[in-house]
Amino acid sequence: QHLGKVYYWLGLFPDALACYGKVIQLNPMVASSHAEMGMTYWATGDWRNAYLAYKQAAALAPENLDYISKCDNAKSIMELEKGVTDIGRKDNPGLHADIRRKLADMFMQEGKKWNENLHEFPSKRLIACTLYRNAIAVLREICATQDDWRQLGEAYLAVAAMEGITDDLEKAVEAFEKVSIIENPQTIDIEHCMALGRHLNMNSRDHEIHFYNLLLKFIKDNPMECKDMGTALMEEKRYE
């Protein structure tokens, strides 16, 4: 079981699953073994097996609210994914989009949970990124409202902060630009994007500079916003 945890922390999920399988085979009545198996299935995006493992853990330890909560979450994601598959976009486009939005919300909520205290163990970053990218995949199919685009931008920004990929930064800005176009075609609402952008913890200063250059491109026609942004950047000593 300890070896399984080490594999899990390192992001070696198949090895972790093999270890937990052996632990459960030796003693199937330990709730924590099933929970750790569920946690590993969760990390791989296997919601059905995550649900079954957490369900068994909750049955063995009914007083453990964390097992029950994770079991419910895995079941919700599993059912929403099934709903997306069963209800075709052409058959009922409205319901299809609503189910996708609920699924994206679940991925975003779980991504934010895993995004906290990333230093605890290496695989947290991998799991959080996977959840955010799941949300991105779902949202890109249905983006129509300002909330859709805003959430898509937040997901891209979260991934960019963890992985430092410039393309994700560009897509985040494009998504926030869509929010502005929908809300008011005459303005670029960049405030939310700026607030997150200033707090990005990028490994490369070049990525930070590129990100701010992208923002400048979108607000160049608004002198007051440019002035406020310049002041903020000078305070942070990012530019002279």
Per-residue pLDDT band for 234 (boundaries 50, 70, 90) equals low
Q: What is the spatial distance between Cα 152 and Cα 199, in angstroms, rounded to a whole number?
A: 18
d(CA 74, CA 11): 20
What's this model's pTM, rounded to 2 decimal places?
0.73
With H, G, I as helix, E, B as strand and everything else as coil, classify residue 142: coil
CA distance 172 to 155: 8
pLDDT digit string, tens, across residues 109-144: 999 888 887 777 888 888 999 999 999 999 988 887
User: Does the structure show a pLDDT above 70 at 198?
Assistant: no
Using pLDDT thresholds of 50, 70 and 90, give the confidence band for residue 89.
Answer: low
Please count the other Cβ atoms lying within 10 Å of the Cβ belonging to residue 57: 26
User: Looking at residue 51, what is its pLDDT?
Assistant: 96
pLDDT > 80? residue 146: no
